[in-house]
Structures are given as structure tokens and as C-alpha cells.
A and B are shown apart, each in its own frame.
Chain A
Amino acid sequence: MASEVREFNIIVAGVGGQGVLFTSRVLTRAALDSGLNFVQSEVHGLAQRYGSIKTEVRIGKDVISPLIMEGTLDLLLALEPIETLRYAGYITERTSIVLNTHLVAPVGAYLERLRIPKLEEVLDALQKLGPKRLVPLNAVELAAKAGDIVATNSVLLGAADALGVLPFEEGVLRRALEKESPKRFIELNLRAFDLGREHILKR
């Protein structure tokens, strides 16, 4: 399987502080453990202080550039709904979207009196882009069930894993999460991952 993967492109999107960087590190660990080439880019510093943040994870033997080209996105993993919208130009029929439905409004929008979209509007706009799959789930709730909302990103990883679109063999992503988690978070993260998986599988 490994050598057949030519190009699989993922954007992980969210708000600074939600664990976007950690999530992408787990994905690259899974790629490495699968013997796959990868390139993953991120931005640090001022750019990540509770603002929009994304990383791009590219997996496969054809990839060398750290940035994804519009129209070639395979998976959009979003920790926050508004953040999915920014990558609308990347989404085509080859894109699966997994998103956490817990909406975090930007406080600046209140000050400017900007209209904040409702979840239904976000989902509707995404659906109109014609993605392969659109999978909304309340990952915060599932993470709380697992023990702490800091594990929200692990729930999403589990959900993405269960969809079967990622170029990894069964169990690889879960083991990557275990390896990358700080010791005191391993159990929590794995519980959250499993809840995310179950949520998709039992649908």
C-alpha cells in the first residue's frame, strides 16, 4: 500500500491553542511509521495567538512542496467550523471534511459587529462545494466524555481514522497518537480517539 500513495493532502485548521500543531505532528508520525514520504508546514509566533491557524500535511512519493495547491485537497480536518470556510477554494469532490461543530466566534467580530455564521449556514456552504464527505461531530462533547476537552483534537483524529480515507493501515494512527502524546495525556487521548472512531463507525 505504502508505495502506491502518490499524493494525499490534508489541511488541519483551527484556532490557535486548539492543538492544530499537535494534530499534524501525529499525522506525520503515522506517515513516517507507514514508510511514506511527507512534507508538513506550519506557522509559529504571533501568527498563532488565538487567531486562525492551519497546517498543511502532504503525504506520498510525489510531494516535495510544503504548500498544497488549490483543488488538490483530500482531507480537511477542522477543530472549529468557521475555520473550515477559509479553505473553501481548496475543496473539490476529492475532499473529505471532518469538523468539530463547537463554534468559537472571534471576539474581534463582536467588536466590529460582524455577523457570525450559524453552524447550519457553515455546513450548508460546505455542502454546496460538493465535497466527497462532510462529517460534522461534536468533538468537544466526546472529549469531555473521555475526561477533558483538551483531547478534542484526538476525537477528530479518531473520526478521520474511522472514515477510512487516510493512507494508513489499521491501528497506525492510534499508535502515532500514543507516541506523540505527552505521558500524562496518553490515556486520555487514546480514549478520546476511540470515542471519535466509534462515533463514525456506529453511524
Chain B
Amino acid sequence: MPSALLSPPGSIVPLLGNEAIARGAIEAGLDVAAAYPGTPSTEIGEALAEAAKELGFIFEWSTNEKVAAEVAIGAAWSGLRAMCFMKHVGVNVASDALFTLAYAGTVGGLVIVSADDPHAHSSQNEQDNRHYAVAMGFPMLEPSTPQEAKDFAYRAFDLSEKYLLPFFIRSTTRISHTRAPIKLGEIRERRIKGKFKPPEPDRYIQVGVYARKHHAELLEKLKTIEKELGPEFTVLKDGSAEIGIVTSGVSYTYVLEALRFLELDAPVLKLGMTHPLPRDIIADFMRKVSKILVVEELDPFLEERLRAIAKDANPSVEIIGKEGGLLPRVGELNIRLVLNAVAKVTGRAPPIDFSKLEERAKPALELAVPRPPVMCPACPHRATGYALRRAAGSAVYLNDIGCYALLFQKPFKLGDVTHAMGSSIGFANGISLATDQRTVALIGDSTFFHAGIPALINAVHNGRKFLLVILDNRITAMTGHQPHPGVPFTATGEEAPAIDLETLVKAIGVKDVHVVDPYDFKAMESAVREALKHDGVSVIIARRECALLTIRRLRREGRKIVPYRVNPERCTYCRVCINTYACPAFVDTGKVVEIDPTVCFGCGSCVDVCPYGAIEPMEGALNWRGEKIGV
């Protein structure tokens, strides 16, 4: 809740880890923040957007992560305190600007947050961005709890200004999306206006001779940071057991609870700065134990480095972790995995017989039919998928990153590929030139602005032939409805010029452009058929607001959502509705199909799907054109 975020200093309020990061930055005197939404980082921006309205600092949703990073860098080079944040794969997009940034450094405090997603809860991969800190040359702080997330974010601004170097903060899903009581601090005054003035004339010019000089300076800085900050970000818990545990991030919390359940008093070294690693502290720890268990999520990042440190510090220490398969590299950790690992290494019995629990749970788990995410009731993407399936038929379908990625599922099966932001159009370039197959690319409005435009320009310029469907639901929906350049308002709700998709696409040189309401099946299908006849790149903009926005607006206006129903006299139980439209509101009773009134949003888009006209509105329901109709 925004009110909690801006509570007075000293109060203890429930905040998500992401909100805590936002609060830490605000307390540090944040002037400018920029980002592109991406789970699990988005709520940092939602919190900042709310706070910016009240406190007056700048927050923007930028076109993509690289632009967001450059916005923050530009502000920090002008002496302001700035932050950008992104999901783990967002760092890939921003990386071109970030790699060279380590050479350039900063003047104003500059903090970059990477929110990694072990388990790929809401992501296309499980990349471990600690590697980036090493490769780019940034110091990286890794909080273990939401409170630490706030404290580290706050501290990172001052450290950035002290060492004239941007600081990375690495969060993971279980920090970002964990709510805990957070103790708030004072909010420092902002600087408000900056002045761009390079500290030395060559500071921001990275060409050969300067780049090499700056590279050498960076390496020196990192040595100093290792010595000076190592102790501050390290927590050492003493213990009597002969096994020691080295850990970082949220894994630390699993370690503490596993030790509690096992009643084992083992020494634990928690590293809050994973780059540069405090090698002396680690070496000291290694000399006190004969075995070390490394507990970390994703890659054996610490484990490999510990082995290298052990060569000099204590070659006889046994280092155990992921290399031997004791802990998994895939997915996220939890208390049980850590407890089992510690129990195995120390020869103790777990306090709970997990295999017995598992055995007993089997019959219940067998009944639990899977429920993967699906498109919401009334989702315009379902309608687009329905029309495409009917009109385009067999083709190579290149999907992209957004809710519409779910169209890969039955019954639509419109997704041979889901890869990276904007890749659908890029791949369509390659596949259409390599084959004679009909090629259809799907992309959302926000994703198109993010990374689709260069690939479309490429296609037009190089004379490719494929159909691009831009699923324009007027918002960045999957991450929770953030504005993008195509809508007429900003992150903080101010009016803004909207970039018109149709004009943009035409300006790029696309000759065949259709704008259609996806609920209008007939119009959609004829647009698809026409576009496929076109010799060149065709674009269909399937435009209808995200259904969740529509529903929220109706509720805000005090209107009741009136569901549709199936007339049992007319339903022949042909199941065409389920088999071709698959709205989650459909209920298969085994005799007829019904509509679950607790799920139906009353959009009426399914009416035309039924060959027998069995789907009808109830009194007061709206049809898809928003006209009031009754039975």
C-alpha cells in the first residue's frame, strides 16, 4: 500500500522486498528512476510511481531497459542520485550501456537493481546475474531479507558516490516478492537539479587509449572496495559444529531455519557483497572448519570461487555444494532442500520424515489436475487467437513475451517459438527468407515498442514477406498494467503524447496495415485472409483494451458484472466452445456446457463461437460492443 511506503521514519510497515528497495532509494534522496516493467522487479516502479506524485522526484517507465539505464546514467552523470531496475533478462538488453559504464563510472549515486527469477516463475530463463557483476566490473550487493533490501539500497547510493562507481543490487523473486515488517528511516533531501560536467575531460569518452586507462582504474577501485566494504556486508555466525556454511541472498534464511530444525550449531558466513568477494574473510573462515557447505541459488558461483580461494587458504578443506549434485542448479531452494543437504553432510536425521509425507500425499496429488496459467475471461488475445487459428491455419507462429505467449497452449497452438523481447519479428525475418512457409509473428504493443521496431524496419527494408499481428491491448498487461509509449499517460499519471502504432508502422513503410477489434471475429478473419495475400510485410493491429482494465473500470463506476449463460435447451453438448475458445468460465458438466458466473466477465465475445446460438446474455449484461442488452 502506498500509504505504508511513505509512513513516517521510525514506523514499522509491511512492505514487499521491491517496495523496500524503493523506500531505501527514496530515503537516500533519489532524484531520478527509470525502468521497463518486468517480473519480479515491477513493484519497485509501482511504489516509486506512487511516491513520485507525492514527493516530486522523477520516475518514468522507459521504452526498454537499455533506455532506462541510459536515462539513469545521464541523470547520475549530471550529479543527481539515480536508479534503474530490471528483471534479470532486462540486464541483457541494458548490458551494452552497462558494460562500458563501469569504465566511465559516475558522479551522482547510481544504483542498478537486477531482480533474478530462480525457478523461472515468470521468466524465460534462470540466468544468474552475479556473473554480470564480475564481467562488467560492478560491485554487487545481495540482500537476504526485505529489510536488508531497503538498507542495502539506501547504503548503495552513498557508496556509489564515495567510489564514483555504480553499484548493483541483486534481488531474487523470494526477496522481491516477500512481504515483511520494514523499519523506515529518515528521507534525505533531494538535489533536484543537476549539472552535466565530466570530472575529467576524458572520463566519459571510451576510445582505445582512454578505455584502457579507465579499465586499469576500475580494477584498482575494485581492490579497494573489497578491502573496505568486505567486513560491512559480511555476517558471521559462530558455531561449534565442524561443518561451516557459506551462503548469500535468500538462501541464508533457509540455512538459518534448517539449522534451527536440526538443532545444529554450525558456523555460518553470509556474504552480502558477492562482487568483489571479501577473500580474506572467506580465507579466515576456511581455516576454522574442515568442511564447507555452500548454499546459493542457481549457479555454483560462490562455490567455484571458494575452491579457488581454498588453494591458498586451506587446500585440505572440503567444499560441498552443487558440483557433486547435493544441491540443485535448476529451480529455487527452500528449507527442506537445505535441511536435507545439511543432514546428509553431517550424518543427522531430518526431524520430519519427508518421504512418509510424500507417500501419504500421493493419492491427493494424483487428483490435483494441473492448472497452468491461461488467458483471463474476456481477454482480447483469446479472440485474436481464435480468428488467427481459423483464418491463417497452418503456418509458422512466432510468439513473443507477454500474456499472449499463452496462445501457444491448446486449442490455439499459436506459438512455435517464445524466446526474447521482440524476437518474434526478428525470427520472422530469418524464417521467411529461409523457407516458403507461411510465417506469422505475434507481438504485444508494449513489447513492440520495447524491441520490435528495428526488426520490422529490417523486414521492410530487406523485402521480407510475413504477417505481423500486434496485439494492442493498450497497456503493458502481464506485469500489472504499466503505461507504454503508445498510451496517452505516464507512469505518474500525467498526460503524455501517445505514439500512434498505425502511423509508426506506415512510416516504416508497411503498405498493408489493418486495425481491427479482435472481438469482431468477421472483421479479424477477413483482415487475416487479406493480409496473407499481400506480397510483403503486412501488419494487423488487433486493438482492444485489456479485459482486466475494462472490468476494473466497470467496478469503479459501481456497475455490476453480469455474466452470460448457456441455454440448456439449445446446447447440444458439441463442445465447440471449449474446443475452440477455451474461456476459463466454461464448465463441462458431462451433459451440457455451462458458464461459471463466478468466473465470467460478461464480455459476450463467446456468443458467436456457439454454432447453435446457445450462449445468451442475462438481464442487464453487456454485449461486446458495450451496448446494454437483456434476454
List residues of chain A with CB under 8 Å of any chain B CB.
15-17, 24-25, 28-29, 32, 37-52, 62-72, 82-83, 85-86, 88-92, 102, 104-112, 114-117, 121-122, 125-126, 128-129, 140, 148-149, 152, 180, 184
Contact = CB atoms under 8 A, between A and B. Distances in A.
Nearest to B588: A110
Interface stretch (B94-102, B173-181, B525-533): B173-181
Contact of A50 (B256, B375, B558, B579): B375
Task: Give the interface size class of chain B.
Answer: 35 or more
A46 B173 CA distance: 13
B361 interface: yes
Contacts of B179: 24-25, 28, 38-42
A32 B12 contact: yes
B369 A46 contact: no
A125 B373 CA distance: 25
Contacts, number: 215
Most buried by A among B180, B260, B374: B180
Contact of A67 (B121, B261, B335, B405): B335
Contact of A71 (B352, B377, B598): B352
A45 B88 CA distance: 14
B364 A108 contact: no
A116 B598 contact: no
Contact of B361 (A82, A89, A109): A89
Nearest to A40: B179
Nearest to A85: B368
Contact of A117 (B122, B357, B367, B560): B367
Nearest to A105: B587
Interface string B285-327: 0000000000000000000000000000000000000000000
Given A39-B180, A92-B357, A108-B409, A121 B367 contact: yes
Contacts of B409: 108
A112 B358 CA distance: 26
26 contacts: A39-B180, A41-B177, A43-B121, A44-B39, A45-B39, A45-B479, A46-B39, A49-B375, A50-B376, A64-B257, A67-B254, A68-B335, A69-B261, A85-B367, A88-B361, A90-B357, A91-B361, A107-B583, A107-B584, A110-B586, A111-B579, A128-B360, A128-B364, A129-B364, A180-B1, A184-B558
Interface in B107-135: 121-122
B234 interface: no
A67 B360 contact: no
Contacts of A28: 14, 179
Contacts of A109: 369-371
Nearest to B409: A108
B373 A48 contact: yes
